[in-house]
Chains A and B, each alone.
Chain A
Amino acid sequence: QPVLTQPPSASGTPGQRVTISCSGSGSNIGTNFVYWYQQLPGTTPKLLIYRNNQRPSGVPDRFSGSKSGTSASLAISGLRAEDEADYYCAAWDDSIHVVFGGGTKLTVL
């Protein structure tokens, strides 16, 4: 059972704004940075957001991250067909390990 809680699915139409939530606890999200990964079908995961809200070079500014307390969110604005993928949140947990969310499958309708 994943330590971080994400909705199993999300959907939106092209151009819409979609948010994906990630809920944790005081020992992980509450005190450490949150990371987001995108896994396109049949590919390896890719770092999308680091340290709560920073984008690596090459990631469009349509993707944004935020954190409040023990929860975090990934927002995708101007949704595109190529955004259809699985999205995972991750954080360090103070019990000396990294925890992931169970993943959210985003469908672009």
Chain B
Amino acid sequence: EVQLVESGGGLVQPGRPLTLSCAASGFNFDDYAMHWVRQGPGKGLEWVSGINWNSEYIGYAESVRGRFTISRDNAKNSLYLQMNSLRPEDTALYYCVKGGGFDEGWFDPWGQGTLVTVSS
């Protein structure tokens, strides 16, 4: 069974950094692109960032480009999202999702999410 378990969320002050992690199991991690998708409180889904299987291709939403960095460690079956210069509008539930090809909106399955709250 595919499992994606996020961690690292919490309450953080504006301007401070935070790093999210996602531990993957149940599939050949290094065969798939991986993504982060977030959902603000009472809001819709927003793609944050994606990375292909060997980290050759990486993409970011305009809203986080230059502040967030996605990475993966295939040896550890893990995905990361380093978030700098956090803003209140980054407050959201952050989902780790398994992708298909890098250039697809194919997200299946989704983790349970980790909550990031940016507030002073």
A residues lining the B interface (CB < 8 Å): 2, 32-35, 37, 39, 44-47, 50-51, 56, 86, 88, 90-92, 96-103
Contact = CB atoms under 8 A, between A and B. Distances in A.
Interface string B8-47: 0000000000000000000000000001000000001111
B110 A33 contact: no
Chain B: interface size category: 20 to 34
Contacts, number: 70
A56 B2 CA distance: 15
A84 B109 CA distance: 20
B69 interface: no
A91 B105 CA distance: 5
B105 A98 contact: yes
Contact of A92 (B104, B108, B109, B113): B104
B113 A102 contact: no
